[in-house]
Amino acid sequence: MRVLTSYLIGLIFGVGISISGMANPAKVLNFFDVAGTWDPSLAFVMGGALVVTFIGYRFILKRSAPFLSARFQLPTRRDLDLPLIGGSAVFGVGWGIAGFCPGGALPALGTGRTDVLVFVAALLGGIIAAKLLQAKLTNRAQAQA
């Protein structure tokens, strides 16, 4: 039940990404190219997604628990720190270079294009490298403490 539900939710997400243009780097990069071939479509993607999620979450999170799980697993931190801001800044640089973000690229794998595979392989490489670096930094911090 959980697996089938998850698959269908992923499918809705994948269709949404496909229709919206988020899986198309040309369209994504043009949103940011206000000084050139500007295409404001991405603002409508974000707007549509935010309005639906904002309203839906208001109803869902009033419940004591989700339907198929024991509890809601939400991030609880509210502080701003260097990894959050620095990491997000770095993410933007990569997004601006390649034109794919993870949420756009994963559904785009379904088109079978080699260039999407190349991007996702590099993305996984970056995630693994960052996890190794994070583990090293944590060990060093513990050694000093």
Contacts (CB under 8 A) with other proteins, residues 116-145: 116, 118-131, 133-134
Q: Binding of other proteins at residue 56 (CB under 8 A)?
A: yes
- CB 76 → other proteins: shortest distance, Å? 10
Both ends of the chain: CA-CA distance in Å? Answer: 46
Cα–Cα distances in angstroms (integers) from residue 103 to residues 65, 75, 99, 120, 121, in the given order: 26, 19, 12, 11, 14
Site for other proteins in 20-49 (CB under 8 A): 20-27, 29-30, 32-37, 39-42, 44-49
Q: Binding of other proteins at residue 65 (CB under 8 A)?
A: yes
Q: Binding of other proteins at residue 57 (CB under 8 A)?
A: yes
Site for other proteins in 79-118 (CB under 8 A): 79-80, 83-111, 113, 115-116, 118
Contact (Cβ atoms closer than 8 angstroms) between residue 105 and residue 123: yes
Q: Binding of other proteins at residue 64 (CB under 8 A)?
A: no
